Amino acid sequence: MTGVTPSRLLQSCGFLTGDNLAEGNSPVLLVHGGAWAIPDDMAEAHVNGVRHALAAGWKVLERGGSSLDAVEAAIVVMEDDEAFDAGRGSFLTSDGRVQLDALMMDGATLRAGGVGCVERIRNPIRAARLVLDESPHVYLVAEGAERFARQHGLPLCANEELVIEREVQRLREVHEPVVAERPPEFFAEHDTVGAVALDTRGNLGAATSTGGTLNKTPGRVGDSSLIGCGCYADNESAAVSTTGWGEPIMKLVLAKWAADRVLEGMAPEAAARMAIERLETRLAGHGGIILLDARGRSGLAHNTPRMAWALKNPQGESAGIEWPRG
């Protein structure tokens, strides 16, 4: 890291704490780069990564683009950034391949598009968007998803192009007998990416993209790309993206659970905290969540040591690797 201490990476965020009501249809964008124990030497890369994603998404929103276009633009930047567990550079399956999952959801119409277990798509969020826009279905997996994406203009790549040496080494370490006996939570180094946006027309969108968990069984799908688990959006409640150990999050259908709290009248910041408390108390799970409602109020919570995030609204921009509890 080039002389930036983690504490300095946590920017001032007075305007972010719970009541950041955007006036009228002021746009808001909140992105995350995963919740885990981000080591000091990777902190700067994570903050830079979420900031670049924020800039890409904000460019869309400030010219009046849709929340879906904004979250897609933000996610593509993080999928292209090897710091994150999404796109190239993702964790490997137990047999050494990259298998990617992604979901996008439109809060205005509840249209959704997801892909699971794709191995030859550099930016699975683009494939998810194609499913949302062009398919009568909501979710496509594996070769069928890849064929669909190619037929709709997305180039395919070789799986090897998505594999990087750092992850080959990481998988090798995990296969060492002394390490292999430890519970999966020990490898809390996973950093899915997500984004939630409110556009100038007042519509919410959400997107989540991941390489899943390290050493996962081939064919495993986690929470990230499942509606209501790792991602959800409804203008009447909230746009949500989660990150963390997927199996407990799936069992609690956590993104929808949190959105329902907002529907009942809870502020997104409180709903985020309550969702993570529930994850911890009910299933001893670990992770993080971001929420945004149609009034522009945002929330974030995590019970992991760190979570990379960045937020922008017309009043300002902020980013960090820990969320300041209000």
Query: At closest approach, how far in Å is the CB of 319 from ligand ASP?
Result: 19
Pairing verdict, β 287-292 and 298-302: antiparallel
Comparing every residue's Cβ against ligand ASP, the nearest one is 246
Q: How far apart are CA 163 and CA 172, in angstroms?
A: 13
CB atoms closer than 10 angstroms to residue 161: 12
Which positions lie near ligand ASP, rule CB under 6 A? Answer: 34, 85, 190-192, 210, 212-213, 222-224, 230, 243-246
Pick the closer one to ligand ASP by CB: 202 or 230. Answer: 230
Pick the closer one to ligand ASP by CB: 296 or 299. Answer: 299
Query: At closest approach, how far in Å is the CB of 221 from ligand ASP?
Result: 8
* 195, 312 Cβ separation under 8 angstroms: no
* 321, 9 Cβ separation under 8 angstroms: yes
Backbone angles phi, psi at 43, to 5 degrees: -65, -45
Structure token digits, residue 279: 């994850």
Query: At closest approach, how far in Å is the CB of 185 from ligand ASP?
Result: 11
Query: At closest approach, how far in Å is the CB of 52 from ligand ASP?
Result: 19
Pick the closer one to ligand ASP by CB: 26 or 304. Answer: 304
Pairing verdict, β 239-244 and 231-233: antiparallel
Helix (H) or strand (E) holding 34: strand 28-36
* 240, 255 Cβ separation under 8 angstroms: yes
Q: How far apart are CA 146 and CA 152, in angstroms?
A: 10
Pick the closer one to ligand ASP by CB: 297 or 306. Answer: 306
Pick the closer one to ligand ASP by CB: 250 or 294. Answer: 250
* 37, 188 Cβ separation under 8 angstroms: yes
Query: Which is catalytic among the residues 192, 208, 213, 242?
Result: 192
Q: Would you call 213 a catalytic residue per the annotation?
A: no
Query: At closest approach, how far in Å is the CB of 103 from ligand ASP?
Result: 11
CA-based Rg of the chain, rounded to a whole angstrom? 18
What residues act catalytically?
192
